[in-house]
A = this chain, B = another copy of it.
Amino acid sequence: MATDADRIADELRAALDGPWREVREKAREHLDDERLYGDPYLDYKAARARVLDQMHLVSTFGWAEKGFKLGHGGGNDPGAAVTALEMLAYTDLSLWVKCGVQWGLFGGAVENLGTERHTPYIEQLITLDLLGCFAMTETGHGSDVANLETTATYDPATQEFVVHSPTPSARKDYIGGAAEHARMAAVFAQLITGGEGRGVHCFLVPIRDEQGNDLPGVTTSDDGLKGGLPGVDNGRIVFDQVRIPRENLLNRYADVDPDGTYSSEIENPSRRFFTTLGTLVRGRVSVGGAAAAGARVALSIAVRYAEQRRQFADPDTGEETVLLDYRSHQRRLLPLVARSYALAFAQNDLVRRMHLVQTGQDQDPSAQRALEKRAAGFKVAQTRHATRAIQECREACGGAGYLTENRLVTLKADTDVFTTFEGDNVVLTQLVAKELLTAYSDEVRDLDALGWVRFAATMARDRVREHSGVRQLIQRLRDRSDETVDDADLSRRDVQLALFADREDYLVRTAGHRLQARAKETGPFEAFNNAQDHILMAGTAHIDRLVLEAFIEGIAAIEDPEARELADRVCDLYVYTTIEENQAWYIMHRFMSAERAKAVRRGVNELVDRLRPQATTLIAGMGVPENMLHAAMLNPA
């Protein structure tokens, strides 16, 4: 018989499952299959082979094609594709990465940067008849993609591009699939025609024959063991004058005629570059989602363990105390659960926005760019959260947490690189801040590297907070909160939102002023560098506010009053702990009195006390099925 707690958990899970709920439910059935879990005892060569087999199994689920257009054999449902693949993070992250590389990165490049002539590749890559890799990063350049060194020089005599690695640092590196499985690479390289460089473009380069041997001029090698993800065959590629047909340029935004004439509908080279990268936003959306999913698995394990593990007797009762009854344990885990809720709602909202943009339902010209900023910000928030949460879970489970059979160390090792790939978190936070500081001016995007600093410094006006995509509820809350915040009730949602927004506004405005003051005296690098910590804080504050707004909107959609009440308390805990982490800032900048800051600390304690009895309900609501936890200690013999 279902209890109240079960019903509340079901309601929460339905809310967190979000717009593609059926996809998640179906995935829970598909993934209840031992064949889809990793085996930590395999060596990395065997793990790679196993994951390749598992990919073939996943390819039968019908998930991959959802992400492609109808005419390409797809389902034109990118939201469903991202959501379904995210669920793979509950089984094995090596498998998730391999699928993401194949269908998301490689497939996404062909789909979004290619044209009709490349459609046959899409059909083959969906079915895994063509295994590909995404060869963007080089040994020398990762974050700074615009300055990749690989060249693709057009030769009109043969109507071919000559792909070449001119220096050791031009070597493609860390490329998933390059070590063993990929037959073709989507290679990002500087296009040169008629002796003129045209910037980074993407080319399809066959790298291996059917027997797996490197093709002439191609030298692949193996990155070997990594911190985790043993089933992913990351590797390196060096090109020595490799010739490919002219048609292998993915020519959606630019093309080269047989005679070598370059043309593009986007005149400005920088804008062309950012448009190219912008189409690949799905990768960032997906990484954030998978990281958050990994954190949910870890928290499900650690909280369930904390409900059964006992240590030290209560002297009054003689009974040993379960770990989750300790205040310190509650404070370790429950705020992370609250943040997981927040981020789950944020991710659902992000995927929904991505889906609307990518299916053409959102035609707002600023939507694509707002999506990119949001995807970058949420990728940072979710991967940072995963790194921190999984580490805390490991430690909170003590020695048992260190055994591979309890899965936490594997989650930690596998997700560790998520803060780096698809954009280093520091660089992405800067990107978010840059967009805020320059209020989305188109001119800015066209500026190289730090050119935007000069621009930001010349903007005398205060910036206007970006309202695009904000829905009624948030607007109403914003409108309500014009009292002096310090005197207002911190448990009120509008006051909380105002505190988040005030921090963001103040940081963005003062960062702008600081750049302005400095740039008169020094060059842009000095001006930027001197304010870098400030700029990063502004970016983080913006992300925090967007996450809170998504959380609030997510709760509003819950109809069951008890489930909504519980979610509201979880939201309070997210708000209070976020404020607690920034309380020095709030006090120093007079947004909060010292007394109120002490009340925040007490508030966190009260909230963990209050939520503690419902911890198991909250975990069930996060939606990782118990049979997918795979932690031996939860089922002792």
Contact = CB atoms under 8 A, between A and B. Distances in A.
Interface stretch (A71-79, A405-413, A438-446): A405-413
Interface size grouping (class) on chain A: 35 or more
Contacts of A228: 409
Contact of A532 (B40, B327, B524, B598): B327
B399 A391 contact: no
Interface in A275-329: 311-317, 320-321, 325-328
A416 B402 contact: yes
Interface stretch (A26-34, A417-425, A616-624): A417-425
B227 A448 contact: no
Interface stretch (A9-17, A122-130, A465-473, A586-594): A586-594
A525 to B, nearest CB: 4
A588 B414 CA distance: 40
Contact of A43 (B43, B226, B419, B536): B43
A403 B228 CA distance: 9
Contact of A315 (B313, B426, B449): B449
A523 B314 contact: yes
Tell me how many chains of this kind the complex includes: 2
A387 interface: yes
Nearest to A409: B227
A416 B401 CA distance: 10
Interface string A601-620: 00001000000000000000
A565 interface: no
A625 interface: no
A173 interface: yes
Nearest to A594: B588
A225 interface: yes
Nearest to A430: B328
Given A409-B226, A523-B316, A588-B587, A311 B143 contact: yes
B533 A327 contact: yes
Nearest to A325: B529
A328 B426 contact: yes
A226 B416 CA distance: 16
A399 B391 CA distance: 20
Given A313-B147, A402-B227, A395 B413 contact: no
A315 B404 contact: no
A311 B40 contact: no
Contact of A399 (B142, B320, B405, B605): B142
A513 to B, nearest CB: 15
Interface string A127-152: 00000000001000111100100000
Interface in A545-591: 583-584, 587-590
A331 interface: yes
B315 A451 contact: yes
Contacts of A399: 137, 142, 173-174, 417, 420-421
A433 to B, nearest CB: 12
A538 to B, nearest CB: 13
A403 B223 contact: yes
**Residue of A168, A312, A405, A589 with most chain B CB atoms under a 10 A cut-off:** A312
A144 B395 CA distance: 17
A383 to B, nearest CB: 10
A394 B227 contact: yes
Contacts of A320: 144, 147
Contacts of A594: 587-590
A238 to B, nearest CB: 12
A636 interface: yes
Interface centre among A227, A417, A605 (most CB of B within 10 A): A227
Interface in A170-218: 173-174
A166 interface: no
**Centre residue among A41, A391, A398 by max chain B CB count within 10 A:** A398
Interface in A36-81: 40-41, 43
A530 interface: yes
A521 B597 CA distance: 26
A315 B450 contact: yes
Contact of A449 (B226, B312, B523): B312
A637 interface: yes
Contacts of A636: 168
- CB-CB nearest 3 A-B residue pairs: A227-B409, A225-B404, A584-B584
6 contacts: A142-B398, A144-B313, A225-B405, A395-B419, A402-B416, A402-B420
Interface of A: 40-41, 43, 137, 141-144, 147, 168, 173-174, 223-228, 311-317, 320-321, 325-328, 331, 387, 391, 394-395, 398-399, 401-405, 408-409, 412-413, 416-417, 419-421, 424-426, 448-451, 523-525, 529-530, 532-533, 536, 583-584, 587-590, 594, 597-598, 605, 636-637
Given A168-B636, A413-B413, A588-B597, 5 more contacts: A147-B313, A226-B404, A314-B449, A328-B533, A387-B391
